[in-house]
Amino acid sequence: MSDQCTLRLVRELRQVERSEQLAFTVRYEESNIRDIQALIIGPPGTPYELGFYEFSIKIPSDYPATPPAVRIRTTNKGRTRFGPNLYANGKVCLSILGTWHGSRGEQWSPAQGLESVMLSIQSLLSSNPYTLEPGFDENDRANDTENMEIYKSKICHENLRLAVITPLEQAFQAPSLTRELAPRVGQESSAEEDSELEFEPEPALLNQSKFYDFCKRRFLWYLEFYQNAIERGIADEAWRQGTSFIQMPFEGHGNAMTGKWNYLDLQTRLLALRDQLMEETHRWPVEGLVLVKEDAGIAVKLRGQHEQIAAETSAYPQVLDLSLVDENPFVWRLTYVGRNESKLEGGIIKIKIYISPRHPEEQPRAFVESPLYHIRVSKLGVLMYLPSHAEEIGQHIEGIINTLEDDNPPYNPLMTVNPEASALCWGSELDRRLYRRKLRASLEES
Amino acid sequence: MKVTIKEWNAVATWHWNIPEDEVCGICRVQFDGTCPTCKFPGDDCALVQGRCNHAFHMHCLMTWIDLESSKGLCPMCRQKFEWKDKE
């Protein structure tokens, strides 16, 4: 039976890794594939929007005859219930997991799998979580409408605080990947650490640290969205600033979402994270130079890869140049010229690619140097692209070029790094014209 | 011209009477392959089809149906799983 479990699980994991969805990612050790960590991005348009929600998925030995055991780990150390079905103690109430009685069509069967479990969990991160509490789905109580709004409001706040800012702060507090991966006493890195409350050190878990770079990359993508959400919170909910969360009728007995509205604090912490992230990126070439002097393997390898990729791309008319900045193999500069009759026509775009000394555990970060008003370029200059293979630098370069070449990409809120440009690009005819005009104007400046 | 056939080797392929790229909903292996417990495809690792028209490797389905939690339902459509007689 165990054979059956492993064979099917390997198949499913491979499929999850191959699928190009951006909404979740999984990590596991080859030595024990039945112990899976999953990170789900809160669905856009919900109070959980673009938050990082961590789950542990344990696969039973008779899988797929019985469902996986799923726990939510984003619980603020067991203190926060993120939704009616996402308990503070980690329990996830879901009929397909057998943790909730559902109608027969909702229960587990071997036709279900990792992907359908992930989709079901995503559906718990809903746009109106209040109605997911049994008996509260009819809006038939006197204050249901009011409670729905309050519940959404506090989840929005805690989403930013506990599912975006806190995990990122931990990523920076955690021991660097270079030094060691083993647990270190006194250095915490739990996903549920709450900086406002007492400091409880916990050993760093390898699995968790595997999400750090993923979260940092996404944080750079979604930064403007987070900033806007916090600014909206400050402006629209000023009267709530400093007040305690109101409890829902179904919350209590240590299974609740308690705390205070404090968007001003979130703003300070978010900006500090942005600065830390940029500092970290700018430190890579400095660390890299040391490795160059030492003739370290990674430095030699990157230099070789650069030579090879530069030769390959020279045949490509859109790539004017691919060079090392100051001869440093840890910073590359790609000079790209827009293809005729494309939206980028004639524009010369310079992109600086920072490569981590810990590549591929930490993936490269690409920044557009000249001002470019583009749906895939954030205000900070972060270029959003998808490499088909994260390990190889060549695939990153290809991903960057593909992003620039893609003139009519489909709308995907998980790929939105420039909310304003995206609203125009996928807006009315008038908006679209305005987008093209702004893009042209930025190209002429470059 | 006269040809005398001295020797001949017959070669044949077979596959189940089911679209080739379809997989068993339980183990997710092609029907023409085996269930995870068998080594040789074919009669030793037969397929079953229910009245609901969903097919599985017989061994995969039996593992499920034997469980109390299955309540005898088809994993795909959750109707009562009843063997289809014909074929």
Q: What is the pTM of this model?
A: 0.88
Task: State the Cα–Cα distance between residues A368 and A349, nearest whole angstrom.
Answer: 7
Give the pLDDT score at A178.
43
- Residue of A7, A12, A65 with shortest CB distance to B64: A65
Give the pLDDT score at A322.
94
Our answer to whether residue A425 is catalytic in this structure is: no
pLDDT greater at residue B12 or residue A47: A47
- Cβ <8 Å between B63 and A1: yes
Q: What is the DSSP string of A208-276?
A: HHTTHHHHHHHHHHHHHHHHHHHHHHHHHTGGGTTPBPPPPTT-BTTBS---B--HHHHHHHHHHHHHH
CB distance from B69 to chain A under 8 Å? yes
Task: State the Cα–Cα distance between residues A44 and A228, nearest whole angstrom.
Answer: 14
Which structure tokens are listed for A290?
């040391």
Residue type at position A441: A
Give the pLDDT score at A326.
93
- Cβ <8 Å between B76 and A109: yes
Q: Which tens digits make up the pLDDT trace of A227-253?
A: 999 999 999 999 999 999 999 999 988
Q: Where are the beta strands (DSSP E) in A64-187?
A: 69-72
Least confident range from A47-56, A170-179, A359-368: namely: A170-179
Range of A201-210, A391-400, B10-19 with top mean pLDDT: A391-400
Give the pLDDT score at B1.
87
Quick check: A27 and A211 in contact, CB under 8 A? yes
**CATH assignment of B1-86, given 3.30.70.2740, 3.60.21.10, 3.30.40.10, 1.10.150.110?**
3.30.40.10
Q: Tokens 């008003």 correspond to what residue?
A: A373
Q: Which tens digits make up the pLDDT trace of A213-231?
A: 999 999 999 999 999 999 9
Task: State the Cα–Cα distance between residues B37 and B59, nearest whole angstrom.
Answer: 8
Give the pLDDT score at A202.
43
- Residue of B27, B63, B78 with shortest CB distance to A104: B78
Q: Looking at beta carbons, which residues of chain B come within 8 Å of A2?
A: none
- Cβ <8 Å between B73 and A3: no
Write out the residues of chain A at the interface with chain B, using a CB-CB cutoff of 8 A.
1, 3-4, 7-8, 11-12, 64-66, 98, 104-105, 107-111, 113
Question: Which of these is catalytic: A93, A156, A215, A425?
Answer: A93
pLDDT greater at residue A139 or residue A321: A321
A310-A311-A317-A320 Cα dihedral, nearest 10 degrees: 40
A3, A4, A101: which to substitute to probe chain B, counting the most B Cβ within 10 Å?
A4
Task: State the Cα–Cα distance between residues A108 and A114, nearest whole angstrom.
Answer: 12
Give the pLDDT score at A184.
42
Which structure tokens are listed for A372?
């470019």
- Residue of A98, A104, A110 with shortest CB distance to B64: A110
Least confident range from A153-157, A352-356, B63-67: namely: B63-67
Residue A128's CB is within 10 A of a number of other CB atoms, namely 14
Quick check: A282 and A276 in contact, CB under 8 A? no
Give the torsion sign (CA, A20, A26, A28, A33).
Answer: negative
Distance (Å) from the C-alpha of residue B86 to the closest C-alpha of chain A?
A: 25
Give the pLDDT score at A346.
83
Give the pLDDT score at A272.
96
Task: State the Cα–Cα distance between residues A312 and A310, nearest whole angstrom.
Answer: 5
- 3-class SS at A315? coil
- Cβ <8 Å between B63 and A8: no
Task: State the Cα–Cα distance between residues A76 and A195, nearest whole angstrom.
Answer: 10
Task: State the Cα–Cα distance between residues A78 and B10, nearest whole angstrom.
Answer: 68
Distance (Å) from the C-alpha of residue A19 to the closest C-alpha of chain B?
A: 16
Give the pLDDT score at A315.
86
Give the pLDDT score at A193.
43
Q: Looking at beta carbons, which residues of chain A come within 8 Å of B64?
A: 65, 109-110
Q: Which tens digits make up the pLDDT trace of A102-118?
A: 776 788 999 999 999 99
Q: Looking at beta carbons, which residues of chain A come within 8 Å of B69?
A: 65-66, 98, 108
- 3-class SS at A301? helix
Residue type at position A285: P
pLDDT greater at residue A225 or residue A17: A225
Nearest chain A residue to B61 by CA distance is A110
CB distance from B62 to chain A under 8 Å? no
Domain ranges of chain B: 1-86
Q: What burial class does residue A101 get, using C-beta atoms within 10 Å of its C-beta: 0-12 exposed, 13-18 middle, 19+ buried?
A: exposed
Q: Looking at beta carbons, which residues of chain A come within 8 Å of B60?
A: 4, 110
Mean pLDDT in chain A?
89
Q: Which tens digits make up the pLDDT trace of A119-130?
A: 999 999 999 999
Mean pLDDT of A321-337: 94
Task: State the Cα–Cα distance between residues A52 and A70, nearest whole angstrom.
Answer: 16
Task: State the Cα–Cα distance between residues B74 and A293, nearest whole angstrom.
Answer: 65
Q: What is the DSSP string of A69-92?
A: EEEE--STTTT---BTTB-TTSBB
Quick check: A365 and A382 in contact, CB under 8 A? yes
Q: Which own/partner pairs from A179-183 qualify as long-range (CB within 8 Å, at least 24 positions apart)?
A: A181/A206, A181/A209
| A270 pLDDT above the threshold of 80 | yes
Q: Looking at beta carbons, which residues of chain A come within 8 Å of B36?
A: 3-4, 7-8
Give the torsion sign (CA, A410, A414, A418, A421).
Answer: positive
Give the pLDDT score at A370.
85
- Cβ <8 Å between B64 and A109: yes
**CATH assignment of A4-132+148-171+210-247+257-261, given 3.50.80.10, 3.40.50.2000, 3.90.226.10, 3.10.110.10?**
3.10.110.10
B38, B45, B78: which to substitute to probe chain A, counting the most A Cβ within 10 Å?
B78
Domain A295-445 has CATH 3.30.460.80: no
Distance (Å) from the C-alpha of residue A179 to the closest C-alpha of chain B?
A: 41
Q: Which tens digits make up the pLDDT trace of A80-104?
A: 999 999 999 999 999 999 888 877 6
CB distance from B75 to chain A under 8 Å? yes
Task: State the Cα–Cα distance between residues A48 and A160, nearest whole angstrom.
Answer: 8
- 3-class SS at A116? helix
